[in-house]
Structure 1
Amino acid sequence: MISGSQKLRKDSFVSPHFVLDLTELMTTFIIFLLLHLCFLLKSGEAQVRKDLITNAAEKTLNGFDENTLFSPYTKQEWRSYQDKKINEGRKTQLNFIITYPNKTAVKGAKLHIKQLTSDFHWGCGMTHRIINNPAYKKWFASKFTAADFHNELKWYYTEPQPGQENYTDPDTMLKFADEHGIIVRGHTVLWDDVKYQQKWVKKLSPKKLLQAANKRVDSVVKRYKGRLVGWDVMNENLHHNFFEKRLGKNASAIFYNRVYNIDPNTTLYMNEFNTTEHVNDKWAAPEKYLRRLKKIRAYPGNNGMKMGIGLQCHYGAKPIDLHYVRNSLSLLSQVGLPIWLTELDVKMDPALENKSQLQVIYLEEILRESFSHASVKAIIIWTGASIDGCDVMCMTNEKLENTPVGDLIDRLMEEWKTGNTEVVSDSNGISKVSMFNGRYEVTVVDPFTNVSSRVTFKVDKVSLPDENVHLQILV
């Protein structure tokens, strides 16, 4: 029998030590699905989960595959599966075929492969404290290609008093990011939590609130139009409803529409907590996230809007339920939108003697699991330098020296890039290389004359659908 604690995981693999008669498995599985579906229908939460269960059933009926898992598994098995998914979703296998202009294969040609960019972004939270700190700037620019401002773009920061707007800090921070090729998310246009509204905003009548909120949207979005990689239009509006209670149930969708009309080419995000972190949070489960996203997109005028999925990922002091993380990310990935982990950290119980070691262990688990989902386009670490405060997690101390967390992230950054590589062509003029997706510069050197040719190109399965890349050495 299948115990209630064992979960169906869509994006998992079958453990090698799992053996069960096929007939017994199928009978038990179908009974489980019917009972679970009845429960969901009764509770009113059925539609999205029904689709998920139906898809899983269809895949299982077609035979055992990596999407079916009812058994325990070892950490080694889990890691092997993650590596498999990383190789499939993040890397491209290429055969470089080196010839002379007369089509003769070149044996012994040297290929110098240099990775220029990655399709995946490592990012970090940034605060105004970076503005006058050269060491902090150097540290940040040397590691990250993406950033989220902690507070500096929020309404209460830029307009603490009505009519007194001040964008000095975000202007300066964005200038620094632009100078170093760091993409920045617009966090956040509005926040649906009443706790984070200015006192003067809370006192406004519905009519005055709509006017003030529209003025805020116009001010910040027009100022940074086309300069940001995305906007968190309405922060945390699965858990909160400040604007909906005062302006009506479609308030969020209307504000998304307003941002879209001002900055139509920028991706607009929902940004929520506990969608992957806690299975028992009834407000932010993946299916509820997708329903809200669908509702926003269905609002008149929002049909062509580019949207993305923002997940804060504030994990607690207990071991992370990777089963739930995998199921959540797999379900969210099905809609084909980019997923950004926007504020990732792991909080530890200060009473634990081994809290530092556990924090690194849990953080590595969640980073590896997240990276194994190709829909996850970026991870923003929350936060980096201790100058920004270390109430939960930091990569460095006050001297910008790595903490154990920083060491881990540096190690994974190195592991998940191709970097600079040199290979030599075989007797058929072929060199086989597996490369992380991104932009590359490849230099080919003739083994006899040292004459070289150089080319740059994008590596991914769309840009290079044919794994054979032909390069010529000109003589």
Structure 2
Amino acid sequence: MKILTIFLLPCILLNLGDITHAQENEDSFDHYYATAKGKNTVKDWDENNLFSPFTKQEWRSYQEKKINEGRKTELSFKVTYANKTAVKGARLYIKQLTSDFHWGCGMTHRILNNEAYKNWFASKFTAADFHNELKWYYTEKIQGQENYTDPDAMLKFADENGIIVRGHTILWDDIKYQQKWVKALSPEKLLEAANKRVDSVVKRYKGRLIGWDVMNENLHHHFFEKRLDKNASAMFYNRVYNIDPNTTLYMNEFNTTEHVNDEDAPPNKYLRKLKEIQSYPGNGGMKMGIGLESHYGAEPIDLHYVRSSLSLLSQAGLPIWLTELDVKMDPALQNPTELQVIYLEEILRESFSHAAVKAIIIWTGASIDGCDVMCMTNEKLENTPVGDLIDRLMEEWRTGNIEVVADSNGCFEVSVFNGRYEVTVVDPVTNASTCVSFKVDKVSIPDKNIHLQILG
């Protein structure tokens, strides 16, 4: 058995270390979709059973099982001296530095002139989507007059605080969100203007964004396909890929997990469209991702459909981001946020139990950005019930600080969430301490064994 051996010195940093499959499962989903369509409540579907009832306790237990399997690693540590003698009673302090999972939040230009809001945002989130500031209608309201002042400043703030940003969005296939001057263009002029837009925004931020939404909502809408070509989406993905080849390019769509009755964007159609884009000449090596807007209503969430959808999408082997997650409140209730919080926790727990989901962007955070649907804070940046829930889950889904004492063989075991860690080891004889940093996941430490060797 191969064991990772780390020689402990004063604080060192070590770097340790497609669609085809999913397509084969579309027939199963087609059957599920056809059976469930039109029903208010759908029976459960998982890897083994298409329809099966579960209690809430069983449902939560299954989620915890999947979280432990997909997001945590059981590590076995052994601490020895250089002569291979076990360090009995060695004290170890384990601190999680970063997580492999990103909590994110929507951001607007209003953050630029509010220091309290900046501090709040930077203290909680490692990822962001700009609401409107990178969209074409925002940066070029008048043809030929581009203005990137706001997104430049917002990205600067994000960079300074270690926040990764998605490029939302280069183009939008909904005619409702096209500038008047764009709608008036002939097909030839539209193609010219759209190419100019792609070149302008992608070259400006090349290499600085974690991903691009290239053609937003191109399952529900077809503005560019109708005016240019049925392959318009694939053509623009190709153009972005050639400019910024190392950045992940996303489809971004609504109702893929939210509503079983939406015939435009169920997971099987999502994957077919994604494969069409990948199959377009020149797109073979393109890195792609799955963006799910995740706007849920004030009614009970069909978690059975969510689970089946995320299970199918996960089989594509691509990163999944929930990019605009919110849940509506019911104003007719005496406490309109009560069910909102319950439904939000349900969707957060179910989504987190799928390891392919790499990040969740909450839409929106502080009330300064407007709370049309959901907010984490009030105007004083004090938590709403939604904010309390998200803080609680953030805490639950991080390892935190762990203190352990090695047994007589210098050994101990611990289960941690995947991410980067700093481990400090204290020699029980000399009280000298040394530390090491390393990454924990199934790739970096495939056998889950770590040998810490104290030198000196």
* TM > 0.5: yes
Structure 2 CA distance for aligned equivalents of residues 301 and 53 of structure 1: 30
Specify the code of the residue in structure 2 equivalent to 1:352.
Answer: L
Superposed displacement of residue 50, structure 1: 1.8
One of 279, 293, 296 as aligned partner of 1:312: 293
Give the structure 1 partner of residue 69 of structure 2: 88
Give the structure 1 partner of residue 104 of structure 2: 123
Change in Cα spacing, 1:51 to 1:358, as seen in structure 2 (3 Å) is closer
Give the structure 2 partner of residue 50 of structure 1: 27
Give the structure 1 partner of residue 245 of structure 2: 264
Which 5+ residue runs of structure 1 have no aligned equivalent? 1-45, 55-64
2:202 corresponds to 1:221: yes
Tell whether the 8 Å contact from 1:123 to 1:146 is kept in structure 2 after alignment: yes
Q: Secondary structure at the match of 2:289?
A: strand
Structure 2 CA distance for aligned equivalents of residues 325 and 91 of structure 1: 22
Give the structure 2 partner of residue 199 of structure 1: 180
Q: Which moved more, 1:420-429 or 1:226-235?
A: 420-429
Structure 2 CA distance for aligned equivalents of residues 368 and 52 of structure 1: 22
Specify the code of the residue in structure 1 equivalent to 2:220.
Answer: H
Count of paired positions: 421
Give the 5 Å matches for 1:105-124: 105-124=86-105
2:276 corresponds to 1:295: yes
One of 326, 341, 346 as aligned partner of 1:360: 341
Structure 1 CA distance for aligned equivalents of residues 410 and 57 of structure 2: 37
Q: Secondary structure at the match of 2:69?
A: helix
Structure 1 CA distance for aligned equivalents of residues 409 and 305 of structure 2: 48
Q: Deviations over 1:261-292 (max 9, x none)?
A: 00000000000000000001000000000000
Give the structure 2 partner of residue 60 of structure 1: none
Tell whether the 8 Å contact from 1:451 to 1:474 is kept in structure 2 after alignment: no
Superposed displacement of residue 51, structure 1: 5.7
Q: Deviations over 1:49-99 (max 9, x none)?
A: 326589xxxxxxxxxx96225332111110011000000000000011011
Structure 1 CA distance for aligned equivalents of residues 51 and 222 of structure 2: 38
Structure 1 CA distance for aligned equivalents of residues 287 and 67 of structure 2: 26
Tell whether the 8 Å contact from 1:125 to 1:147 is kept in structure 2 after alignment: yes
Give the 5 Å matches for 1:363-378: 363-378=344-359
Give the 5 Å matches for 1:20-419: 49-50=26-27, 67-68=48-49, 70-419=51-400
Calculate percent identity across the aligned residue pairs: 83
Specify the code of the residue in structure 1 equivalent to 2:396.
Answer: E
2:414 corresponds to 1:437: no
Structure 2 CA distance for aligned equivalents of residues 176 and 96 of structure 1: 39
Structure 2 CA distance for aligned equivalents of residues 351 and 150 of structure 1: 28
Specify the code of the residue in structure 1 equivalent to 2:276.
Answer: K
Structure 2 CA distance for aligned equivalents of residues 339 and 356 of structure 1: 28
Structure 1 CA distance for aligned equivalents of residues 335 and 48 of structure 2: 35
Structure 2 CA distance for aligned equivalents of residues 151 and 465 of structure 1: 42
Q: Deviations over 1:26-50 (max 9, x none)?
A: xxxxxxxxxxxxxxxxxxxx97532
Structure 2 CA distance for aligned equivalents of residues 69 and 253 of structure 1: 34
Specify the code of the residue in structure 1 equivalent to 2:415.
Answer: S
Q: Which moved more, 1:441-450 or 1:325-334?
A: 441-450
Structure 1 CA distance for aligned equivalents of residues 405 and 30 of structure 2: 49
Specify the code of the residue in structure 2 equivalent to 1:185.
Answer: R
Tell whether the 8 Å contact from 1:82 to 1:372 is kept in structure 2 after alignment: yes
Structure 2 CA distance for aligned equivalents of residues 440 and 358 of structure 1: 37
Superposed displacement of residue 102, structure 1: 1.0
Specify the code of the residue in structure 1 equivalent to 2:284.
Answer: N
Specify the code of the residue in structure 1 equivalent to 2:402.
Answer: T
Structure 2 CA distance for aligned equivalents of residues 198 and 438 of structure 1: 43
Tell whether the 8 Å contact from 1:347 to 1:359 is kept in structure 2 after alignment: yes
Greater RCO (CA < 8 Å, at least 6 residues apart):
2
Superposed displacement of residue 472, structure 1: 1.3
Q: Deviations over 1:195-233 (max 9, x none)?
A: 000000000000000000000000000000000000000
Tell whether the 8 Å contact from 2:256 to 2:265 is kept in structure 1 after alignment: yes
Superposed displacement of residue 254, structure 1: 0.1
Specify the code of the residue in structure 2 equivalent to 1:218.
Answer: D
Tell whether the 8 Å contact from 1:424 to 1:431 is kept in structure 2 after alignment: yes
Tell whether the 8 Å contact from 1:317 to 1:347 is kept in structure 2 after alignment: yes
Q: Deviations over 1:369-394 (max 9, x none)?
A: 00000000000000000000011000
Q: Secondary structure at the match of 1:456?
A: strand
Superposed displacement of residue 450, structure 1: 0.7
Tell whether the 8 Å contact from 1:453 to 1:472 is kept in structure 2 after alignment: no
Q: Secondary structure at the match of 2:324?
A: strand
Give the structure 1 partner of residue 10 of structure 2: none
Q: Secondary structure at the match of 1:293?
A: helix
Change in Cα spacing, 1:101 to 1:53, as seen in structure 2 (3 Å) is farther
Q: Which runs of 4+ in 1 moved over 6 A?
A: none
Specify the code of the residue in structure 1 equivalent to 2:339.
Answer: L
Structure 2 CA distance for aligned equivalents of residues 70 and 157 of structure 1: 46
Give the structure 2 partner of residue 5 of structure 1: none
Structure 1 CA distance for aligned equivalents of residues 347 and 330 of structure 2: 18
Structure 1 vs Structure 2 CA RMSD: 1.5
Structure 1 CA distance for aligned equivalents of residues 143 and 24 of structure 2: 44
Give the structure 2 partner of residue 465 of structure 1: 446
Tell whether the 8 Å contact from 1:93 to 1:435 is kept in structure 2 after alignment: yes
Tell whether the 8 Å contact from 2:330 to 2:340 is kept in structure 1 after alignment: no
Q: Secondary structure at the match of 1:93?
A: strand
Q: Deviations over 1:277-310 (max 9, x none)?
A: 0001000000000000000000000000000000
Structure 2 CA distance for aligned equivalents of residues 427 and 327 of structure 1: 47
Superposed displacement of residue 473, structure 1: 1.9
Superposed displacement of residue 350, structure 1: 1.2
Tell whether the 8 Å contact from 2:76 to 2:450 is kept in structure 1 after alignment: yes
Q: Secondary structure at the match of 2:113?
A: coil
Q: Secondary structure at the match of 1:448?
A: coil
